[in-house]
Amino acid sequence: MAALPLLALDVPRSFNAAPPVRHAIAATLLRHNAALLLAREPARDPLHRVLASRWRPGKRGFAELVRLALVVAADHELNVSAFAARVVASTGAHLHATACAGLAALSGPRHGGATARAYALIEDAGGAAPRDWIGARWERGDELPGFGHALYPHGDPRAAAILDQLEHSAPGAPAMQRVRQLADAAEDIAGQRPNLDFALAALAHAHGLPAMPALVLFAASRLTGWLAHALEQQALGGLIRPRARYVGVAAQA
């Protein structure tokens, strides 16, 4: 978030509205954002290979798992970060400013930060029996980060896709068995199924990674969606300016 505005200073024609120019800037920004998230030099390889080689170099099938996660997490209609990015884009701001707006929104614990909370839930379960541990949290009134989604009362299809591929890529792995047991216990006891945050956290946990790669994966992926929203909004033109209606105490005559 701190570096992107500085990178924008060296981008020629950053306010040029021509589609080829905007698309070229967007492609470069995707690579630079990934490099910043990984603390490495920008690479020209596909994004999923860049991330996979940084986290689990040479691990068979891991790059394709990362690719799947990037695809399903890239866009989710007008979520908080996408809407923030689209509003900024509607002002005519350059794409780096749009990316900063999206990252700022994503950083909140109720949005992108939820991946860390879901990861902590998996880690905190430790060696406890999953049903007992989930049941104890539920009885205390503790929330279950990584479970349930307002838009998917019957289960988040994005999470299902990632978890299915995780199980396929590591059948019988103890870490993956643990993840599945927690997911089954949450559904049986609380009636809640895994969402995208849990799936990204499970991906990191199952491959022996810390919590941060789950958020990095989310941010690197979602930037693609933000840029698509920004390019579309700027092509359409017009400023996003919702109206507010006062519903407080009426003025006295």
pLDDT tens digits for 90-148? 999 999 999 999 999 999 988 999 999 999 999 999 888 999 999 999 999 999 999 99
Residue 252 reports pLDDT greater than 90: no
Q: What is the mean pLDDT of the segment spanning 232-243?
A: 94
> Is 135 exposed, middle or buried, given 0-12, 13-18 or 19+ CB atoms closer than 10 A?
middle
User: Residue 194 pairs with which residues in a beta bridge?
Assistant: 147
Please list the active-site residues.
111, 149, 197
Q: Cα–Cα distance between 173 and 34 in angstroms, integer?
A: 29
pLDDT tens digits for 172-183? 788 889 999 999
What pLDDT does residue 123 have?
94
Q: How many residues does the chain have?
A: 253
φ, ψ of residue 147 in degrees (nearest 5): -130, 145
What's the mean pLDDT when you consider all of the chain? Answer: 93
